[in-house]
Structure 1
């Protein structure tokens, strides 16, 4: 999700800076919801079961250029088969391997948006330095229906979901942090962290509003949009929060934002919580368990620094 979200400034810059461009976007069907409301995309194409069928559909469009922001085997095949001028985002795989394997980080801490934009620089397109875009459907429930008892009160969203274990704080650490926060806290996340949410809610039932696994993604985005502040791990909904320029705390365990270029983008007030360790980062995308067994990257995060940031105007 995060990689796709960070393509939105590229699409916007292409649409606004080129003379009357027609922009088509190709992605997997399960990411359709991230893009189908984007007003800068003229047509959304979804990968078909057979790549041959997808390429046949694309060929019929007679494109002038292909901009490859994925740089995978599949996207390479699409470029080759279309046989037109193309430009590709450079992933710097070897440098990332050096950083993970040997702790030798040769990658510039440029944001992924800036890395993507290099692929369209030959067209004269430049960064407009505006936040990412996320467009909610018109039929999304309003906040008054999602949080009828709290929508007018200042509240903090805590996004406790993340695909991999090493991206998530232990429950007891989340509870300890929430105890120190002087606002109602809305928990958000998917089905995979419903048990975690129940444990946290039971510990602090008067402070926690548990919506984990109970509302849709776009309803979760609506809650984020109306929050006073947002706390989140390295996950898609946390990155979506950047579209609304919320005061944002991102918490990093086994992953580091600089390696992938996914630090908060164009957010006025943000704090990145993490611990300096010789074993961190141990992964680009997270792991199912701490390779060292101690999980210090999450357990040693200073909660007081997070509270200070939340409390500071």
Structure 2
């Protein structure tokens, strides 16, 4: 049995997007699969039945190299492609393949609006393992929640999970936009995000007339947030890690895009067929690769998305999927 090391050091969404690679390598080839990532992201992988061993990147890089050398890997699959992953490959001195980021293509798209390959990132990951003749099983993403995870919230009802955070403010809907939507729905909404979004969640609750909002930002583990997403009837999300977790559960997703755009290849992968993308300035190229810079306005062109458009899509999806809830659209 070949022993394989997969490298993806960060972050939440990117690691979830590697899950089809893990599954297909295990099920189609039976490899012993080890995975190297940063300690703070190991929770994403701990319940994955297709991984034999997780290695956590240590602050002392040499210690990490020593640990990995001991494993005597047959092959390394580098799905990160940065300086550290290259140094690891150099030190371990075994056969490897590397995910191609397509940096030039992204540059041409962002700065000259020249569209090259429109492959989803998952398809690019599969290109990195062509040497094994592994095919995409088209089963989408995986996310495995630990067996003891629970949340003090009534999941036996229809509710919306709204992921309000993102890695940069320019990728986030504003409090005003979210409040404008929530004020017009008589329906439970759980707000999800990290500690950085806790204050935002409190403000939304204070200023909203909807009294069925629950702010879980900064109060839950990642598995607990995933638990609420899994049991929701609809997920609303910026371009962030929780969006990809929702896709793993095949949820109906309304995703919001501004500085980053779906054309970059990071849109929800094989989520429910009813999922939609609401894109600000859809005729323009992405503002930046990571969404930390906007060509249109300082706070991000995602702030130009009309709350009425969001509300209308919620109404349509709820009706289309016969979900029993009360929504009021006011114009």
Is TM-score (shorter-chain normalized) higher than 0.5? yes
Q: Give the stretch that moved more between structures: 52-61 or 282-291.
A: 282-291
Alpha-carbon distance change, 220 to 297 in structure 1, aligned in 2, over 3 angstroms: closer
Give the whole-Å Cα distance in 2 for the aligned partners of 1:167 and 1:279: 16
Give the TM-score normalised by the residue count of structure 1.
0.91
Query: Once the 2 structures are TM-superposed, how far is the Cα of residue 288 of structure 1 from its aligned partner?
Result: 6.9
Please say if 1:306 is aligned against 2:313: yes
Q: Among residues 3, 12, 34, which one is paired with 2:14 in the alignment?
A: 3
Give the whole-Å Cα distance in 2 for the aligned partners of 1:212 and 1:311: 28
Q: CA RMSD of the aligned region, Å?
A: 1.9
Give the whole-Å Cα distance in 2 for the aligned partners of 1:23 and 1:296: 41
Unmatched 5+ stretches in structure 2: 1-11, 322-331
Give the TM-score normalised by the residue count of structure 2.
0.86
Give the whole-Å Cα distance in 2 for the aligned partners of 1:12 and 1:233: 27
Unmatched 5+ stretches in structure 1: none
Query: Once the 2 structures are TM-superposed, how far is the Cα of residue 121 of structure 1 from its aligned partner?
Result: 1.1
* Contact 1:271–1:309 (8 Å) recurs in 2: no
Alpha-carbon distance change, 109 to 287 in structure 1, aligned in 2, over 3 angstroms: same
Equivalent position of 2:328 in the other structure = none
Q: Among residues 10, 15, 25, which one is paired with 2:35 in the alignment?
A: 25
Please say if 1:234 is aligned against 2:239: yes
Q: Among residues 262, 281, 285, which one is paired with 1:276 in the alignment?
A: 281
Equivalent position of 2:5 in the other structure = none
Q: Deviations over 1:41-82 (max 9, x none)?
A: 111111122222212221111111111111111111111221
Please say if 1:112 is aligned against 2:121: yes
Query: Once the 2 structures are TM-superposed, how far is the Cα of residue 33 of structure 1 from its aligned partner?
Result: 0.7
Query: Once the 2 structures are TM-superposed, how far is the Cα of residue 215 of structure 1 from its aligned partner?
Result: 2.1
* Contact 1:255–1:285 (8 Å) recurs in 2: yes
Query: Once the 2 structures are TM-superposed, how far is the Cα of residue 131 of structure 1 from its aligned partner?
Result: 2.1
Equivalent position of 2:327 in the other structure = none
Q: Give the stretch that moved more between structures: 301-310 or 76-85.
A: 301-310
* Contact 1:68–1:87 (8 Å) recurs in 2: yes
